[in-house]
Structure formats: C-alpha cells, structure tokens
Amino acid sequence: MDESTEPPSAAASDVPVIRFDDLHKSFGKQHVLAGLNLDVERGKTLAIMGASGSGKSVTLRHIIGLMKPDSGRVLVEGVEVAKMTREQLSEMRKGMGYVFQDGALINWLSIGENVALPLRENTNLSDKEIRERAQHKLELVHVPDAWNKMPSEISGGMRKRIGIARALITDPDIILYDEPNAGLDPEIARSINATIRHLADTLEVTSIVVEHRIECIRVVADEVLFLHEGKSLIQTATADFFASQHPRLLRFFGQDSLPPSANPHS
C-alpha cells in the first residue's frame, strides 16, 4: 500500500488536515483546476473565493471523494482520498460534514428525520438517543421546533440551517460549506454566518467555506484562498487578504482597493 493510504498516525497532528497537491481536473476541454495547491490547518476555517465557474465547489467535492482528480493528490489527515478503499472512504466521510448549497434535504423525510438520518443508518443507537442528539443539533442552529415540518414547508434560510444541523449530527472534525449564503437575504445570511463562526469557535472543527460574499468571509474565515485560472492566486490570513492590493482581487471586487478588513473574531 502506498504510504499516503496508510491510516494517520499520532504524529499526523502536525500535517495539514487537508492538503491539495498539484491537483488537476478537467471537464471535457474545460480545465477547471490546473495545479491547485492548498493546506488547511487543524481547527482553522478556510474560505475559498473565486469567480463563478472557477472550481470552488469542485474543490470541495474532491475533498469528500465525490470527484476524482485527473492528476495530483487530495490528502485528508495525510491519507490520499483517491486511493482510499470504499470502507476507508466511508469512514472518512463519517468524520466530515458537508453542507450543500440548498441543503439537499431528503424531501420525503421530516426535518427531524433528515437530521437523524445518518445516525439511524450508520449506528445502533436507540431511537430515544437519536432523537435527543438530533434535537440538540436543531437547537444548535436555532430551529428547535422544526422536527415535524417537511422540507417543502420551510424557507431557504431554514433549509441551510437544517443542512448544517445534519452535517453536525455525527460530530465531525471537518465541515465543508458550499456557498452557505447563496440565495439568502442579508439578514438571514448574517445569521447563517454567525452560526458558522459560532460552531467553529465552540466545536473547534476544521472548516472550508466556499463563498464569494465579502460579508461572509469577514465573519467566518481565518484564512482566505482566491481561486484564479484553476490555481490558488493567494492563500493568506483574512486580514492580509483584505489588505492585499493584488490587481486581480481589485478587479474581482470592482474597486480601487479591497474592502477594509473587518474580521470581528481576529
């Protein structure tokens, strides 16, 4: 077995939790990722920014093994995702949460059962314990009374919250958020951002947030990576990112200088 497919050792705490090593991915003639490198340290929140179609969501899908790279490596806890066996991949995913753009809730299950689903399917916990845990996660994302509602009966913001609650149900070490602010009004978006920051601070999970709204990045991110032409144009601390005068970033934000750094948690 390749060294990179061995389970992580105790010494692995020094290595980045997530590492991209010269990753390439194309769809037909379109080269979406063209040599992407990135590192995410344990307990940190990395925001990935970039223009539409720059490969932000594709990057996330590589981490959780929904896509395989054309070349290069994605390492999670030092283990190469593409070389994992089905069982290893399944185990890795149980330690991760993934929040889809629109929540991707199972439409024929109630909100409570959506959140409880991973525990019902993958554990032998009693019904009582599963319900208690799921209810706790619903309270964590501030929707304690939603258990019996159906996904079709709730708003977009609530779907996002439920998606976050479901991602948290297995107490993951890593959470991946795919555009958590997409399609939300500013007030609900602020609330979602505060929830993400709160979870990062209290649960000390490692997070990657794909987003292109500055307001979100300011609140949630410890570091920002800007994707440009399939590569990392810059990966730096949030404050430094907003202080950057890189011409591509200035053009992206459509102004002479980047918005002032206002990362409230830094």
CB-CB contact of 11 with 71 (8 Å): no
Closest among 10, 33, 32 to 20, alpha carbons compared: 33
Nearer to another protein, 93 or 212 (CB): 93
Q: Pull the structure tokens for residue 33.
A: 């990722």
- Of the candidate residues 32, 48, 64, 84, the single one contacting another protein (CB under 8 A): 64
> Which one of the spans 104-112, 152-160, 186-194, 249-257 is the region binding another protein (CB under 8 A)?
104-112
- Residues forming a β-bridge with 49: 226
Measured in Å, how far apart are the chain's first and last C-alpha atoms? 42
**Residue 174, phi then psi, degrees to nearest 5:** -130, 135
Residue 164 half-sphere exposure, CB side, CA atoms within 13 Å?
30
178 token code pair:
């795919």
Residue closer to another protein, measured from CB, 158 or 224: 158
> Minimal distance in Å, beta carbon 90 to another protein?
4
Smallest separation (angstroms) from another protein to the CB of 122: 6
30 sits near another protein (criterion: CB under 8 A) = no
Q: Does 123 bind another protein (CB under 8 A)?
A: no
Total residues interacting with another protein, rule: CB under 8 A: 21
Residue 78 carries which side chain, given as an amino acid letter?
G
Residues that bind another protein (CB under 8 A): 64, 66, 90-91, 93-94, 96, 98, 100-102, 104-107, 117-118, 121-122, 166, 170
